[in-house]
Amino acid sequence: MNRHSKTLSHRKLKIGEKIRQLISIILIREDINFQISKNKVISITDVDISPDFKNAKVFVSTLNEEDKSNIIDNLNKKKFFFHKKLFKELNLKFLPNIKFYSDTSAEYSQKIDKILNQLNLRKN
């Protein structure tokens, strides 16, 4: 890996983290603009930016699994609203196109943990 690609990955991580923070702030400030009930907890867990900086996957975690798809759909319907707000806050020549996805890392982690526990029980 050359030095140039390391700076790109550092820049990508930095921009992704800034987008994550700003979307979280927008959700808190502008909650009246979304069709999301006030008693639902939403967390922006990660932002993955493509190598060409044209697209960004925004991963969302919620406590209520039943409403997860509705929340993701509502956020994706408002992605242009987010894009406009992010463009004002970030000093970037081009802002990545954002799309919201469900964060499944917690479920995946639980699945791995369950498998490891089963292996431990068999071993003992």
Give the span between the Cα atoms of 13 and 9, in whole angstroms.
6
Give the span between the Cα atoms of 8 and 12, in whole angstroms.
6
Token pair, residue 22, equals 């700003």
Query: Can you tell me the mean pLDDT for 60-73?
Result: 83
Parent domain of 98: 3-123
Query: Can you tell me the mean pLDDT for 70-83?
Result: 91
Q: Please, which residues bridge with residue 42 across strands?
A: 62
Q: What is the CATH number of the domain that holds 22?
A: 3.30.300.20
Q: What percent of the chain has pLDDT above 90?
A: 38
Q: Domains in the chain: how many in total?
A: 1
What is the pLDDT, as a whole number, of residue 31? 66
Query: For residue 57, what are the CA distances in angstroms to 48, 51, 77, 88, 107?
Result: 5, 12, 15, 20, 19
Give the span between the Cα atoms of 66 and 63, in whole angstroms.
9
What is the pLDDT, as a whole number, of residue 66? 73
